[in-house]
Amino acid sequence: MPSNANWPRQRRLPELKHYVRIISACLAILIYLSIAACSDSNHKPVYRNQILAFGTIVELTLFDTSDTDGEKLSNEIRLMMEDFHEHWHAWQNSPLTLLSQTLSQSGQSEINADDAELISKSLALSNASKGLFHPALGELISAWGFHSDELPLSPPSEQTINDILNTLPTLDQITITNNVISNDSGQAIHFDLGGFAKGVIIDRTIEYLRKAGINNAIVNAGGDLRTIGSAGDRPWRIGIRHPRDLAVFASITTRDDESVFTSGDYERYFDYQGKRYHHIIDPRSGYPADTVSSVTVIHRDSATADAAATALFIAGKQDWPRIAKSMGIEHVMIIDKENKVFITPELAERMEYEISPPPAVEIHPLP
C-alpha cells in the first residue's frame, strides 16, 4: 500500500472529549486498579502510564517493570500506535484512503504483506459475522457524520441512506491474491476498519510487551482491553460500564490471556426529535442498530473481540446467539434497553453484578 511520511498527524480532539474518554476508561478499570494497588505482596515495581491515541486514553499497567524500562516501552508503544493510526486512518489522507480511492477507480492495487494480512482478517471476520461487521462502511459512516469530531445535529435523509446501500459493494467482491487486492463490484469502496482496528493495535501491543519480557500487564484503550498474567498475586478484575449511568454494572475476573470488549450506544451519539442515534450502523438497514444498549464479549484475540462486539450489537436480542456461534465467541453479555441481561452460561458463571438490585438475567446457551 502506498505511504507518505508527510501526511499530517492526527488532530487533537476537544478537551471535553478527552475528559469523557478518561472517565470511561477509569470506570472500566476502577475495580482492577483497586485490586492491583494492594495485590503485590512482594513489593515488585508496577509501572503505569497513559498514552493519547485514536482520540482516546490508552492505559498501560505493567507489573515487575521499573519506571526506566516502563518509560522506554511506553514511548515505543506510543510511536507504534501513532504510525498505525496514521496508516489506517479512514478519513484523513492516509494509505488506507488512497487504497479506497485506487480500488474505486481502477478496481485493483498491490499491497504489502502486512496490509494484506490485516485486510484479509477483516474480511474473514465480516464473513463469520454474516456481514454484520462490515469494514467498508465508510461512505455510510460519513453520511451519518460519525467520522467527524463534531457530532451531527440530525440524521441523513432516507434517500441518502438508500442511495449508499444500493451501491455498497458486498465483501465477497473484495479479494486478495498474492498481495493484490481487487474490487470486482464496479462500485466505489470506502474502507473504515475502525470496527476492529483498536483490537488489532492492542494485540500488537501485547505481542510487543511479551517480546520485551513483560508477562503481567494490561492494555486498556478507553475501556476495551486485554490482560496477560496477573495483577501481582491476584487475577485482573475488570469493571463493565453501566450503559445508562456513570457506574460499574458488573465485573469479571479475567484468566491468563483474555480480551474484554464492549460496544454500547452511549459512546458516540446524538439526540434528534426525542430519539437517540448512535454510531453502530447496521449495514443492512443503514440505520443505527436499536434493540440493545451494550454488548460485552471475552475472547483471547482482541481484534476478534472488537469485531464481535460490534456484530453482536447489530444482531440484537433475537439473533446474537447465532452470530456468536458463527464467530466462535463463547463469552457474551447483552444488556437491553431495560437493563435486562442476556448471557451465555460460560460467562454467567464468572460474572458478578455490581448494581442494586441486581438485573434480571436470562442465560442463553449458543445453538
pLDDT in tens, 202-221: 999 999 999 999 999 999 99
Q: Does some domain include residue 176?
A: yes
Q: Does some domain include residue 150?
A: yes
pLDDT digits (tens, 9 = 90+) for 287-313: 999 999 999 999 999 999 999 999 999
Q: Does some domain include residue 179?
A: yes
Q: What is the pLDDT of residue 213?
A: 97
Q: How many CB atoms lie within 10 A of CB 48?
A: 16
First to last CA, the chain: 41
Tell me the average pLDDT across 155-182. Answer: 95
Q: What is the pLDDT of residue 8?
A: 29
The total number of structural domains in the chain stands at 1
Q: Does some domain include residue 298?
A: no
Domain encompassing residue 117: 95-194
Nearest Cα neighbor of 24 from 62, 61, 50, 57 is 57
Across-strand partners of 109? Answer: 181
State pTM to two decimals: 0.90
Provide the grid cell at 80: 507504534
Own/partner long-range contacts of 214-218 (Cβ < 8 Å, ≥24 apart):
214/62, 214/63, 214/64, 214/65, 214/73, 215/64, 216/62, 216/63, 216/64, 217/60, 217/61, 217/62, 217/63, 218/29, 218/32, 218/59, 218/60, 218/61
Q: Does some domain include residue 285?
A: no
What CATH code is carried by the domain that includes residue 176? Answer: 1.10.3980.10
Provide the grid cell at 122: 477483516
Q: Does some domain include residue 7?
A: no
Q: Does some domain include residue 104?
A: yes
> How far apart, in whole angstroms, are the C-alpha atoms of residue 331 and residue 259?
11
pLDDT digits (tens, 9 = 90+) for 323-364: 999 999 999 999 999 999 999 999 999 999 999 999 999 999
- For residue 319, count CB atoms less than 10 angstroms from its CB and return exposed for 0-12, middle for 13-18, buried for 19 or more: middle
Q: Does some domain include residue 301?
A: no
